[in-house]
Chains A and B, each alone.
Chain A
Amino acid sequence: MNYRLQLDRVSAAYEGVSVLKDISLVLPDGVFTAIMGANGSGKSTLLKLLGGAVAPVAGKILLDGKPVSALRPRHLARDIAMLPQFPLAPDGIRVAELVMRGRFPHQTMFRQWSAADRTAVDAAMAQAGVADLAHRLVSTLSGGQRQRVWIALVLAQDTPILLLDEPTSFLDIAYQVELMALLSELSERGRTIVAVLHDINQASRHASHLVMLAGGQVIAAGRPDEVVRAETMRAVFRLESVIVPDPVTFTPMVVPSELRRNR
């Protein structure tokens, strides 16, 4: 298994409160990895560590064996794109203008806009299914349309590694399926995808590598059939469940066996 991106005994904390403790993990190349865990378990933090947006209190995040903190931000941005959970859309911006901003790391002071930028932006908008929205104001879009515009922006950044924080939130079920299919297609074409996801069954279907976080640790990491087990569900979510094969893909599917519960 080849990998470029790796966490080596990484701990993270906010204002002294520990969130992740001593995590070691590799993110396999060209693979769609899903990060899962309960609310507040540190999924976003893990993604931000990988993207260099949060500095670890201990350990190293390595890209090609080099600490990401030692890379120039612009160089890192040509390898890793990250879509945060809550990006901001400037008031009055149009879809194409927003997607174009994904090209920043490929531009210089004297070459602000090139044919390559144009091609990348058009391809990204087509892939994310927002080409026909190009001239719309972002503020007039539905939540799902907006989410796809953000996806287009990080696709336009055209990086081999893509980090996405809950990209399926706000999408209806049909668009969720479409986005998951897009992400697995991108990984099949060689891109490394790391996405925080909530729907375990969906992740099992589309992602080939799952990482389960709980208590600041990686409880399980591996293929869906290795990770999605009743014991893992109990450990991560304190949920009793039975695991059955998905009737369509035969990947593991979680069926909660409790109808009511006290946390």
Chain B
Amino acid sequence: MTARLGLAVALASSMLCILALASLAIGAKSLPLGEVLAALTGDASDVANEIVAMRVPRMLLAILAGIGFALAGAVMQAVTRNVLADPGIMGVNAGASLAVVLCVALTGMAQPMTLVWAAMGGALVTGALVQIFSSLGGATALRLVLCGVAMSAIAGGAGWAVTLSDPDLFRRVLVWGAGSLIVTDFEPVRAVAPFVLAGVLLTLVLGPRLNAIALGNDLARSLGVGIAGTQMAAAASVVVLAGAATSATGPVGFVGLLAPLAARAVVGVDQRAILALTALLGPVLLLSADLLARVVLPQGEAPLGIVMAFAGAPVLIALAYRIGDL
């Protein structure tokens, strides 16, 4: 089992490196790989140096957001014992995004760090509301998902309503609101990175506890896992990871669903292994989608969120067929 995990991690890491380099090379003006490598050490032509320098933050942000969305999904799935749990489906991303839109609408152009805090606040509020509504009359997996979907629709709708009410705001958040990674400076990277790192550390501690939670709350408690504490820590990591990721890219769905799904299919049931592989597959997915977004239209870029939805929806449908009852 560990050999399998090792192989999977090695493969996913290589894919991640290749995609990271590709995301520096491919774009409106594509560069040969040799020139990208040269630019990384600073001895390419000035134009190439500049293009690569502009693409580095975008690449880093894609990796951070990929980790954030994917790990948030893996943690949610583990703690709810529900394979359909995902920050996109459960309304967390939409809540984070609504809070960002409101923040921009109220304060004008906000700093990336402010947006991260706003996004985490929005994620917390919607996550808590979904939790509360779905536990009225006894929480079931189905109720949780339905409440999540409803909350997602409400927060998403509210976000667009706010955006559309103000042409100026519309112009500024339209691109972001559909999910995108158009950044050229390090400011958002610096704002998002500490939170993603904190989330990663939290999931490191959570891994073994989630393995116990998988056996049911009674047995987990008897194994020495505090249920309430673990659920709180899991919720905190989801809020931080999904919030930070959403502030970076806008609400991008499906990463939190697909990456853990793929990780489980490869490494099996150990949550520590699932989390490790998920943290690599999330960025792989997001970088791939971002590359696709750059090249799929004859000119300009497709919104990242929409590319991801096109790729993710069929998988969700296939999944719904496979698991007959939630």
Contacts and interface: CB of A to CB of B under 8 A. Distances in A.
Interface of A: 48, 51-53, 72-78, 80-84, 86-93, 97-98, 101-102, 104-105, 107, 109, 112, 154, 157, 163
B64 to A, nearest CB: 24
B208 interface: yes
Given A92-B269, A97-B270, A105 B221 contact: no
B270 A84 contact: no
Contact of A93 (B223, B224, B225, B269): B269
Contacts of A91: 269
A53 B216 contact: no
B219 A84 contact: yes
A87 to B, nearest CB: 5
A102 to B, nearest CB: 7
Given A87-B216, A89-B215, A82 B208 contact: no
Interface residues of B, number: 23
Given A91-B269, A105-B223, 18 more contacts: A52-B221, A73-B226, A77-B222, A77-B224, A78-B224, A84-B222, A88-B214, A88-B215, A88-B216, A92-B269, A97-B268, A101-B223, A102-B223, A104-B212, A104-B225, A109-B205, A112-B272, A154-B222
A75 to B, nearest CB: 8
Given A101-B212, A104-B208, A104-B212, A90 B223 contact: no
A101 B211 contact: yes
Contacts of A53: 218, 221-222
Closest 6 pairs (CB-CB, A-B): A77-B224, A74-B224, A84-B218, A82-B222, A105-B224, A88-B216
B81 interface: yes
A52 B264 CA distance: 32
Contacts of A112: 208, 272
Interface string B190-214: 0000000000000011001001101
Contact of B219 (A72, A80, A83): A83
Contacts of B216: 84, 86-88
21 contacts: A51-B221, A51-B222, A52-B221, A72-B224, A81-B222, A86-B216, A87-B215, A88-B215, A90-B214, A93-B269, A101-B212, A102-B223, A104-B211, A104-B223, A105-B224, A109-B205, A109-B208, A112-B208, A157-B222, A157-B223, A163-B222
Given A73-B226, A97-B269, A90 B221 contact: no
Nearest to A154: B222
Contacts of B212: 101, 104
A136 B219 CA distance: 21
B85 to A, nearest CB: 15
A135 B302 CA distance: 47
A92 B223 contact: no
A77 B223 CA distance: 5
Contacts of B269: 90-93, 97
Contacts of B214: 88, 90
A87 B224 contact: no
Contact of A101 (B205, B215, B218, B264): B215
A73 B221 contact: yes
Interface in B28-63: none
A87 B268 contact: no
B305 to A, nearest CB: 30
B224 A73 contact: yes
